[in-house]
């Protein structure tokens, strides 16, 4: 199974720390490719998975470049890790482009909930009973 992670990578940010903590765990279970939001490619790193530099001039999040990476890599799952409004922009861009190619890539949004005024948060943790290779990523994220 191939997973494309879209999120901060290599740079110094809390989001980047989470990206690498999770991707380092997932790399033994599936093929990981990272689209490094705000990463320009100049910082050397020792991560064992490929990281696309996602920073482009004039577009901090590189929405269009991210979709070209999805078409090139053809992942089974795309995990988008960012704030919810940014995730929604990625999803819109991805669906606009991939729908033309009958792409069935699954999209998993991952975002911090402490930034939003929620009355109740629910997590689904019963994945192991019905686990398939596609559920594996979800289970690893929840552990």
pLDDT tens digits for range 67-83:
899 989 999 899 999 98
Q: Are 7 and 81 in contact (CB under 8 A)?
A: yes
State how far the Cα of 2 lies from the Cα of 113, in Å rounded to an integer: 26
Say which DSSP state 56 is in. B
Confidence of residue 99 (pLDDT cuts 50, 70, 90): confident
Tokens of 89: 């922009």
What pLDDT, on a 0 to 100 scale, did the predictor assign at position 134? 52
Beta strand 77-81 with 106-110: parallel, antiparallel or unpaired?
parallel
């Amino acid at each position: 199974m191939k997973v494309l992670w879209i999120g901060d990578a290599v740079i110094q940010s809390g989001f980047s720390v989470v990206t690498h903590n999770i991707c380092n765990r997932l790399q033994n279970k599936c093929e990981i490719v990272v689209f490094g939001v705000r990463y320009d490619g100049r910082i050397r790193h020792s991560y064992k998975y490929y990281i696309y530099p996602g920073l482009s001039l004039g577009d901090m999040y590189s929405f269009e470049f991210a979709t070209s990476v999805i078409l090139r890599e053809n992942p089974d799952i795309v995990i988008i890790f960012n704030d919810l409004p940014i995730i929604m922009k990625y999803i819109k861009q991805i669906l606009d482009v991939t729908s033309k190619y009958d792409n069935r890539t699954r999209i998993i949004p991952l975002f911090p909930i402490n930034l939003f005024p929620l009355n109740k948060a629910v997590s689904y943790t019963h994945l192991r009973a019905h686990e398939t290779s596609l559920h594996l990523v979800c289970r690893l994220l929840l552990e």
